[in-house]
Structure 1
Amino acid sequence: MKIGFILGEVGSGLRRNLSMVVSVVLVTFISLTFVGTAALMQMQVTQMKGYWYDKVQVAIYLCGEHNEGTNCTTGAVSEGQRGEIESMLGSSAVKPYVDSFEYESKEQAVTHFREQFSNSSMIDTVTADQLPESFRVSLVDPEKYQIIKELFSSMDGVDVVVDQRELLEKVFSIINIASVVAIGIAGVMILCAVLLVGTTIRLSAYLRRRETGIMRLVGASKSSLQLPFVLEGIVSALIGALLAGGVLWAAVKFLIDGKLALEYKDTAFISTGEVFMVAPWLILLGVILAGVSSLVTLRRYLKV
């Protein structure tokens, strides 16, 4: 089997069915882009969890003048109540669960608020009196949050105990839903790509039925007849997979590395390194789908 002959046949087939080849490339590109996006989303969730779960704290918000919680019937937290809460945080009963804690006054709270929302127009409308005092608690094991909540939520002077992980979980759940949607769209598009590859190969085999008939008569092997058609599908899918990898790389490079990572320096974002981890799998998936689809089609429409 001569490689030059095989490549010539592949090139001839791609030229004859150019419009169909372009369709396969585009559908493969779109479907694998969705697959890659879903994979990168999951990597982002994993990276953010690993980064933030060790940093998030439990916030014990203390009663203010206008709180109506069951522990705030006497009004704002008193010095004595605040001292009892601090003593409990430093007690031997709580020590196995608490890694460290710090008190945040109203003045410190408004300072932190203005730092976090420096680009927002509402920073000048928020005053220290509107924000509560709190204790920020870092846990030895973040999964033991319920123990801290049970211990402190019933203490006088405590308005509410909040696990900041709950806020992160909402963000992660949104990303996970987006990943599932992307996978669903990718599944539909992959099915379209498989059908298009099969249609393209069937059309190519029909157009070249005379050449394949002559090759049969001169004793051409089954593999030499089928290989050019299989390679046509693989080449089309390969181009689509490379385009998908390129678009994902550009999105991460310019949108995440070039913008989001610079604006939100305290957030752990994925980088182009993750794209290079995903891209080979996209290429492999595209090649396998095209190869299998081509072989199944040839078995039905190119009897040897």
Structure 2
Amino acid sequence: MRFALIWSEVFTGLRRNASMVISVVLVTFVSLTFVGAAILMQAQIGTMRDFWVDRAQVAVYMCTSVSTQPTCAGGAATPEQVAEVQAALEGPTLAPLIQSFDFESHDEAYANLIALLGDDYASVITPDQVNETFSVNLVDPAQSEVLVEAFSGQDGVEEVKDQLQYLEPLFSALTVATYIAVGIAALMLIAAVLLIATTIRLSAYARRKEIGIMRMVGASNRFIQTPFVLEGVFAALIGSVLASAAVLAGVHFGVNEYLRDRVDFVTTWVDMGDALLVVPVLILIGVVLAALSAGFAIRRWLRA
């Protein structure tokens, strides 16, 4: 009987404040959608970073006939200079840091470059103008600076490049986008909390006579507060479910159906499994914030 009475009060409050409830639902929906997007973006950054860190190489570019670096004053790297770099990579100092390395000769590099640029460039570029390259995979990619310091400034070596550096601007841009999404989500969540509190106060004011009668017949504060808390939780729950649906739809249509086939250099994307893990987080955030906000608002109003 008490349970039926509580739910009767809940639906009465929702009906009386329908416009405010809809506002709570929409604000909660938008804010939690941003929260879900931020979580998935951070997961995507982590997935991409892990993928590329494992595959990123340190490239040691040997001098060519057209190199202008001071270490290339003698022209193209000699076989002795190439052998010196290889010996250093296989030596006791660097070998423990290296997982594997490959060597690309002038002819191999030239063939790959022409395949990439097209046959029209074959008459413009000659093999001796393309770098011989050692591509090194490290056991720990974080130790790439060791190789950079070991070969930078060495005669016959034009440049040493950590390929992961090319991806850092992308990771940084995605991280900034994540922070922006988190900031917008935080502002929207604050707005949702304030809106829920306002809705509960208005609902309590509209039912002040009923509350007075409940107090006169000895109803406990918890019994009086429960319907108001459930009103806020119910509205926030609907917004959370809508936000979860938006996140799932975004991953399915935005990632799986659109980005996965169009952005070739990214081979690892967040999937529906990741989105499903976000759903309970969004619902929990929505319900807990609504319960806390509504509970605080009605307690303040009852004490007033």
Structure 1 length-normalised TM: 0.89
Q: Aligned with 1:99: secondary structure?
A: strand
| Aligned counterparts of 1:199 and 1:124: Cα–Cα separation in 2 | 70
Q: Give the superposition deviation at 1:238.
A: 0.9
| Aligned counterparts of 1:235 and 1:85: Cα–Cα separation in 2 | 68
| Aligned counterparts of 1:19 and 1:168: Cα–Cα separation in 2 | 48
Q: Aligned with 2:158: secondary structure?
A: strand
| Aligned counterparts of 1:222 and 1:126: Cα–Cα separation in 2 | 83
1:3 lines up with 2:19 in the alignment: no
- The percentage of counterpart residues that share the same residue type is 44
1:99 counterpart letter in structure 2: Q
Range with greater deviation from structure 2 (162-171 or 289-298): 162-171
| Aligned counterparts of 2:114 and 2:191: Cα–Cα separation in 1 | 51
Q: Aligned with 1:7: secondary structure?
A: helix
Match of 2:99 in 1: 99
Describe the superposition over 1:238-283 as per-residue Cα deviations: whole angstroms up to 9, x where unpaired. 1111111111111111222223334437622111111121221111
2:66 counterpart letter in structure 1: H
Q: How many residues align structurally?
A: 299
Q: Give the superposition deviation at 1:164.
A: 1.4
Q: 1:59·1:161 contact (CA, 8 Å) conserved in 2? A: yes
Match of 2:70 in 1: 70
1:175 counterpart letter in structure 2: L
| Aligned counterparts of 2:225 and 2:258: Cα–Cα separation in 1 | 48
Q: Give the superposition deviation at 1:232.
A: 0.7
Q: Give the superposition deviation at 1:126.
A: 6.1
Describe the superposition over 1:121-175 as per-residue Cα deviations: whole angstroms up to 9, x where unpaired. x767766657533111111221221221122122222111111122233222222
| Aligned counterparts of 1:83 and 1:20: Cα–Cα separation in 2 | 76
Q: 2:58·2:135 contact (CA, 8 Å) conserved in 1? A: yes
Q: Give the superposition deviation at 1:106.
A: 5.2
Q: Give the superposition deviation at 1:44.
A: 1.6
1:87 lines up with 2:90 in the alignment: no
Match of 1:216 in 2: 215
Q: 1:35·1:186 contact (CA, 8 Å) conserved in 2? A: yes
Q: 1:110·1:126 contact (CA, 8 Å) conserved in 2? A: no
Q: 2:32·2:185 contact (CA, 8 Å) conserved in 1? A: yes
Q: Aligned with 1:302: secondary structure?
A: helix
1:270 lines up with 2:303 in the alignment: no
1:59 counterpart letter in structure 2: A
1:167 lines up with 2:201 in the alignment: no
| Aligned counterparts of 2:181 and 2:118: Cα–Cα separation in 1 | 37
Match of 1:297 in 2: 297
1:244 counterpart letter in structure 2: A
Describe the superposition over 1:168-194 as per-residue Cα deviations: whole angstroms up to 9, x where unpaired. 332222222222121111111111111
Q: 2:42·2:178 contact (CA, 8 Å) conserved in 1? A: yes
Q: Give the superposition deviation at 1:110.
A: 6.3
Match of 1:197 in 2: 196
1:188 counterpart letter in structure 2: L
Q: Aligned with 1:40: secondary structure?
A: helix
Q: 1:256·1:269 contact (CA, 8 Å) conserved in 2? A: yes
Question: Do the aligned partners of residues 126 and 209 (structure 1) sit closer, same or farther apart at CA in structure 2, a change above 3 Å counting?
Answer: farther
Describe the superposition over 1:185-212 as per-residue Cα deviations: whole angstroms up to 9, x where unpaired. 1111111111100111111111111222
Range with greater deviation from structure 2 (78-87 or 280-289): 78-87
Question: Do the aligned partners of residues 31 and 108 (structure 1) sit closer, same or farther apart at CA in structure 2, a change above 3 Å counting?
Answer: farther
Q: 2:48·2:266 contact (CA, 8 Å) conserved in 1? A: no
Q: Aligned with 2:72: secondary structure?
A: coil
Q: Aligned with 2:54: secondary structure?
A: coil
After TM superposition, the structure 1 = structure 2 runs for residues 219-234 of structure 1, keeping only pairs within 5 Å, are 219-234=218-233
Question: Do the aligned partners of residues 274 and 111 (structure 1) sit closer, same or farther apart at CA in structure 2, a change above 3 Å counting?
Answer: farther
Q: Give the superposition deviation at 1:49.
A: 2.4
| Aligned counterparts of 2:111 and 2:205: Cα–Cα separation in 1 | 74
Match of 1:37 in 2: 37
2:52 counterpart letter in structure 1: W
Range with greater deviation from structure 2 (265-274 or 161-170): 265-274
Question: Do the aligned partners of residues 123 and 229 (structure 1) sit closer, same or farther apart at CA in structure 2, a change above 3 Å counting?
Answer: farther
Question: Do the aligned partners of residues 125 and 249 (structure 1) sit closer, same or farther apart at CA in structure 2, a change above 3 Å counting?
Answer: farther
Match of 2:248 in 1: 249
Question: Do the aligned partners of residues 266 and 290 (structure 1) sit closer, same or farther apart at CA in structure 2, a change above 3 Å counting?
Answer: closer
Q: 2:60·2:161 contact (CA, 8 Å) conserved in 1? A: yes
Q: Aligned with 2:55: secondary structure?
A: coil
Q: 1:63·1:76 contact (CA, 8 Å) conserved in 2? A: yes
Where in structure 1 are there 5+ consecutive unaligned residues?
A: none
Q: 2:225·2:299 contact (CA, 8 Å) conserved in 1? A: no
Range with greater deviation from structure 2 (132-141 or 188-197): 132-141
Question: Do the aligned partners of residues 111 and 10 (structure 1) sit closer, same or farther apart at CA in structure 2, a change above 3 Å counting?
Answer: farther
